[in-house]
Amino acid sequence: MSVRHKVRERVEKLFSNFKDLEGEFVIYNIYAPTGNQEIEAEDLNYVDIKVNFNDSESIKKFLDRTTRETLENEVKGYYLLGMVLDKGNQYIPSSDIDLLKEMFDDVKEVLERLKEE
């Protein structure tokens, strides 16, 4: 399996945690620098993308864009830490890496600041 296919498979797996939703929401793809250094929520790259869950074309565009950006970020030394869906009154994380769960409160604070800007 090619690197692109492996990345797409992981992106689809992370996205599948949101599959039962209806309507339009923002999903933040969160990228962390590679390496063993201590990572703070402010060190992460946040990419926000609107997705209409009622439109299969919108979902496909999100998956395609996230796959492409993940591959591009890997070249730049970042990896996809996970996704966070903004439901307006709550944030729903999706990650297969414990780090996002461990720092989720700090990530939520950064997302709130980003929404205010």
Query: What distance in Å separates the CA atoms of residue 27 and residue 93, rounded to the nearest whole number?
Result: 10
Query: What distance in Å separates the CA atoms of residue 67 and residue 47, rounded to the nearest whole number?
Result: 13
Predicted confidence (pLDDT) at residue 11 exceeds the cutoff of 80: yes
pLDDT of amino acid 104: 93
pLDDT in tens, 68-113: 999 999 999 999 999 999 998 899 999 998 888 889 999 999 999 9
pTM of the model: 0.92
pLDDT in tens, 19-60: 889 999 999 999 999 886 788 999 899 999 999 999 999 999
pLDDT of amino acid 72: 96
Q: Half-sphere exposure of residue 23, counting CA atoms within 13 Å on the CB side?
A: 7
pLDDT of amino acid 36: 64
pLDDT of amino acid 99: 83
